[in-house]
Copies of this chain bind each other. A is one copy, B any other.
Amino acid sequence: MAEWGERLAGVRGVLLDISGVLYDGDAGGGTPISGSVEAVARLKRSHLKVRFCTNESQKSRGKLVGRLRQLGFDICEEEVTAPAPAACQILKEQGLRPHLLIHDEVRSEFDQIDTSNPNCVVIGDAGEAFSYQNMNKAFQVLMELEKPVLISLGRGRYYKETSGLMLDVGGYMKALEYACGIKAEVVGKPSPEFFKSALRAIGVEAPQAIMIGDDIVGDVGGAQRCGMRALQVRTGKFRPGDEHHPEVKADGYVDNLAEAVDLLLRHADQ
C-alpha cells in the first residue's frame, strides 16, 4: 500500500502503549497479545527509538516491568514513562503533600513524598481500593482545603482485562470533580506534557514520532494533538466503533502491534 509510505515516512521514534497493545492484563499476570513479544524485539533491534508510554497506575514501574519480562518482553524500568513518577515530580515542584487514593502496588513510587497534613489528593487506578469509604475520605480531604487540588493519574474510561471491561480511574476522577465542584489536573495520557516528557526521553520531536495504542481518545487523539502521528491497534479495548469516532481519526488502524511494526519497518525510512 503506497499510502502507508506517505503516512509513516520520516518516523524516527515510537511510543508504545502497554496494556492492550503488549498484553492483556488480569489479576493473575496477563497474557501477551499474539506477536507482540517479537514485535517489540524487532523494533528495538531496528534504527527506531522506542519508549513505553503507559497510564498504568495500578502497579509501580518495577512491578509492571517485572511482569512484562516474565511474559517475555524486552523492557526495562528506565524505558517507561508512567503517571506516578510524573506526579511525584509535580508534587515536589509545587510543595504538595498528597492524600493518596491509589492501588497498594503503586504506593512504593511515592516513598519519597511527604504525605503528612495533606494539601492535595492524588487519585490513581485504585481498583478494589475504590471503596465508598476511601472515596469519601478523599472527598472530605478536598472539601476541607481552601483551594482543593486533585491530581489524577490518567483519566481512562475503562480498560480490558481477560475477564472483561474494567472501570478505570477517569470515572472516579469525574465523581470527585463533580462532588467538589473542581477540575482535576491529569497526569498521564492524553496530557500533552506527558507525551512531551516521553519524547524528550528519547530525543525525538513530535513530527518524527508515532504513538501506537488501543485507546482512540487517550492514545491516538492525545498524541495527534501534540503533533505526533498515531496508529490504533484492534486489540485491547479497541471497539469497532472506534474507526468511526466522531472526533478522532487515527493515521492508521492495524490488527495488532505486529502489523504496526511490519509497516513501520517497511515504510518509516521513506
- Residues of chain A having any CB pair with chain B under 8 Å: 126-133, 135-136, 139-140, 143, 157-158, 164-168, 170-172, 174-181
Closest 10 CB pairs of A and B: A171-B175, A171-B179, A130-B132, A174-B178, A175-B175, A174-B174, A157-B179, A128-B132, A136-B167, A171-B178
Chain B, Cβ-Cβ closest to A158 = B179
> Which of B166, B170, B178 contacts A170 (CB under 8 A)?
B178
| Cβ distance A262 to chain B, nearest Cβ, rounded Å | 32
| Cβ distance A233 to chain B, nearest Cβ, rounded Å | 20
| Cβ distance A140 to chain B, nearest Cβ, rounded Å | 6
Chain copies in the assembly? 2
Residues of chain B contacted by A126 (CB below 8 angstroms) = 132
Flag if A167 contacts B135 (CB, 8 Å). Answer: yes
Q: A128-B132, A129-B132 are in contact. Are A179 and B168 (CB under 8 A)?
A: yes
| Cβ distance A136 to chain B, nearest Cβ, rounded Å | 5
Residues of chain B contacted by A140 (CB below 8 angstroms) = 164-165
- Residue of A128, A130, A132, A164 most packed against chain B (CB within 10 A): A132
Residues of chain B contacted by A181 (CB below 8 angstroms) = 157
> Which of B128, B170, B175 contacts A133 (CB under 8 A)?
B128
With A128-B133, A136-B166, A174-B178 known, 15 other A-B pairs at CB within 8 A are A128-B131, A128-B132, A129-B132, A131-B131, A131-B132, A135-B167, A136-B167, A139-B158, A139-B165, A139-B171, A157-B179, A157-B181, A168-B179, A171-B176, A174-B177
Flag if B165 contacts A143 (CB, 8 Å). Answer: yes
Distance, CA A239 to CA B14, complexed state (A):
51
